[in-house]
Structure 1
């Protein structure tokens, strides 16, 4: 199994359970890892034999910058589902790490995040 990683994509969205989150919005960071077979791409240097990560970026962007939801778990699930559906011919599994760097909760911390894996991912 081979992997493509899109690391720390940053978007601005309006997801959250609190009213100020859906009104003011906030930054979200997404790391997406794709389980795939890169042997043919490596041998042939042919983009058609791999996953176009610019297209994966667009999928993530449309979801994070799209319709607001309450939970980051929902955002991550939507990304995983969309990636598996759109790239079903090449991607057998996906891991999504969604980071909310500035949630409106008191205390000192770097961020909060969810980490989900769907499909066949080793």
Structure 2
């Protein structure tokens, strides 16, 4: 099984629990990993045989820019559902979201969540 990875997509969003997050927004970084049988499906050097990662990027961007959630866990779940619904050849998707502006009294780089889903 092959993987397509789109790493470090950066979006300014208005996701979060706090009113400041909803008002000012913040930067989120998103990784998407797509698992499907590249070895069996991509035989003729034809874009129609694979998953167009430019189109996946656009789908992720459009969803993230038009949906706001309290939890980045919810956002990751819905991004995964959206991509899986568009691309039936994807068997597994992993979505990682990193959030840097987290209201925790401590020293750390970021919080990252990951979800993994299978296509039905």
Q: TM-score, normalised by structure 1?
A: 0.91
Q: Tell me the residue number matched to 1:50.
A: 50
Q: Establish whether residue 107 from structure 1 lines up as the match of residue 106 from structure 2.
A: yes
Note the aligned Cα RMSD (angstroms). 1.2
Q: Please give the per-residue CA displacement for 1:38-75, whole angstroms capped at 9, x wherever unaligned.
A: 1232x311100000001111111122222211000010
**Structure 1: distance between partners of 2:55 and 2:112:** 24
Q: Is the 8 A contact 1:63 1:75 kept in 2?
A: no
Name the SS of the counterpart of 1:5 in structure 2: strand
Q: Tell me the residue number matched to 2:91.
A: 92
Q: Tell me the residue number matched to 1:116.
A: 115
Aligned CA distance change for structure 1 residues 106 and 63 (closer, same or farther; 3 Å): farther
Instruction: Give the length in aligned residue pairs.
Output: 118
**Structure 2: distance between partners of 1:113 and 1:8:** 12
**Structure 1: distance between partners of 2:105 and 2:21:** 15
**Structure 2: distance between partners of 1:77 and 1:106:** 27
Moved over 6 A (4+): none
Structure 1: where are the runs of 5+ without partners?
none
**Structure 1: distance between partners of 2:19 and 2:63:** 20
**Structure 1: distance between partners of 2:68 and 2:80:** 17
Q: TM-score, normalised by structure 2?
A: 0.92
Q: Establish whether residue 30 from structure 1 lines up as the match of residue 30 from structure 2.
A: yes
Structure 2: where are the runs of 5+ without partners?
none
